[in-house]
């Protein structure tokens, strides 16, 4: 599935993430109500900022890129709604890893 483009470019070392859908059913077939579901911790990177600027003025490029599937902290970032879709804006340092 091709990555959808978003009309929002994060600034600095921030990353725009589309959280992956929550699991609504356990492996045993039990359907979980919304209140029992955990917040997603995996998502797809939709857009990245230009990178972090160090105190000496040097620019550090981003390690993630649009299309990467990432794992992030449970309560990381800020939830935003763009063009009717729910996204999360987080700093790159809050990303725990890139899923292969």
What confidence score (pLDDT) does residue 29 get? 72
Each domain of the chain, given as residue ranges in start order, spans 14-22+39-99
Q: Give the Cα separation of 15 and 23 in Å (integer).
A: 24
Compute the average pLDDT of residues 73-95: 91
Question: Which carries the bigger pLDDT value, residue 89 or residue 39?
Answer: 89
**What pLDDT, on the 0 to 100 scale, is given for residue 71?**
94
Give the CATH architecture of domain 14-22+39-99: Roll (2.30)
Say which DSSP state 27 is in: T
pLDDT tens for residues 17-44? 999 876 666 667 776 665 655 566 899 9
- Check residue 1 and give its pLDDT: 44
pTM of the entire predicted model: 0.79
């Amino acid at each position: 599935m091709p990555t959808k483009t978003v009309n929002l470019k994060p600034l600095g070392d921030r990353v725009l993430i589309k959280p992956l859908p929550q699991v609504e059913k356990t492996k045993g077939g039990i359907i979980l109500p919304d209140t029992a579901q955990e917040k997603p911790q995996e998502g797809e990177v939709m857009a990245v900022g230009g990178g972090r600027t160090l105190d000496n003025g040097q620019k550090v490029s981003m390690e993630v890129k649009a299309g990467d599937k990432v794992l992030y902290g449970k309560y990381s970032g800020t939830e935003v709604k763009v063009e009717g879709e729910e996204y999360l804006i987080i700093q790159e340092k809050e990303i725990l890893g890139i899923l292969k």
